[in-house]
Amino acid sequence: MSTPCPRALVVTAHSDDEALGCGGTMARLARKGWEVGVIFMTNGVGAREAAGAEQAGARSAAAAAALAALGARLLKNHDFPDNAMDSVPLLTLVKAIEETARDFRPSLVFTHHANDLNIDHRLVHQAVLTAFRPLPGSSVQAILCFEVASSTGWGSAALPGFHPTLSIDISETFEAKLAALSCYDIEMRPSPHPRSAPMLETQARFRGAQSGLALAEAFEVQRLIIGTGLTLPV
């Protein structure tokens, strides 16, 4: 009898957050036999002037190409108001995540840092922690929080910053991360903007250097339950 493959779930506010925050890790997991599912909570463009069905369709196509580059699959692209998720009751966000993830039953969950500048990122973090609270019978054994260039680093100095406690080697999958980000060309910027290919490589090299690696993505460990058989992607 074959053992089912482990499952990782990435929950983000906007399509492109997944590639920016943990794209290299997603590709690494997929190559190691994990099933990687993704939930987007908004269409990613609704807050922009004159954004309509055409832009939303283009963003959806970009996301599909990016996920293919990372070896992941889309579970759900919700349509909550972009950059206005604070207009939606938190319970509604929580139930949407719970319903989408119910059958997927991930053991590992990735989501935003708690104190990003972007309001949607902060609310998704809170909704994820609520949706996957550690109740008996929960499949979730670890929740890892990632940084998003031009959001996490721009958070308020009055709130705790991003202090990673886990590094994952993406030396072999950084090119897949860049390939995914190239699908979101409308979101990328010229260097030295933090959301540019050279600066993202600098970030990966810096995070790698903190752990003796060539290239890495860094995470805050929000939850890690020992004794449940979870195998992290080492």
Q: Is residue 1 part of a domain?
A: no
Q: How far is CA 165 from the centre of its chain?
A: 17
Burial class (CB within 10 angstroms; exposed 0-12, middle 13-18, buried 19+) of 226: exposed
Range of the domain at 100: 7-224
Low-confidence ranges of the chain (pLDDT < 70): 1-3, 46-52, 228-234
Give me the pLDDT at residue 50, please.
Answer: 55
Give the total number of structural domains in the chain.
1
**pLDDT tens digits for range 5-49:** 899 999 999 999 999 999 999 999 999 999 999 999 998 776 555
Predicted pLDDT at 57:
87
Residue 232 lies in a domain: no
CB 115 within 8 A of CB 161: yes
Global pTM reads: 0.94
Residue 231 lies in a domain: no
Report residue 48 as tokens.
């922009």
Residue 146 belongs to a domain: yes
Supply the pLDDT for residue 151.
95
Residue-level pLDDT at 44:
79
Q: What is the CATH number of the domain that holds 90?
A: 3.40.50.10320
Residue 230 lies in a domain: no
Q: Quick one: how many helices (H) and strands (E) in the chain?
A: 6, 7
With respect to residue 176, please indicate whether it lies within any of the assigned structural domains: yes
Edge-to-edge, what's the strand order for the sheet holding 216-224?
A: 73-80, 35-42, 7-12, 108-112, 142-146, 216-224, 166-169
Q: Let me know if residue 34 belongs to a domain.
A: yes
State the Cα–Cα distance between residues 148 and 80, nearest whole angstrom.
20
In a domain, 22, yes or no: yes
**Residues 27 and 177 sit within 8 Å (Cβ to Cβ):** yes
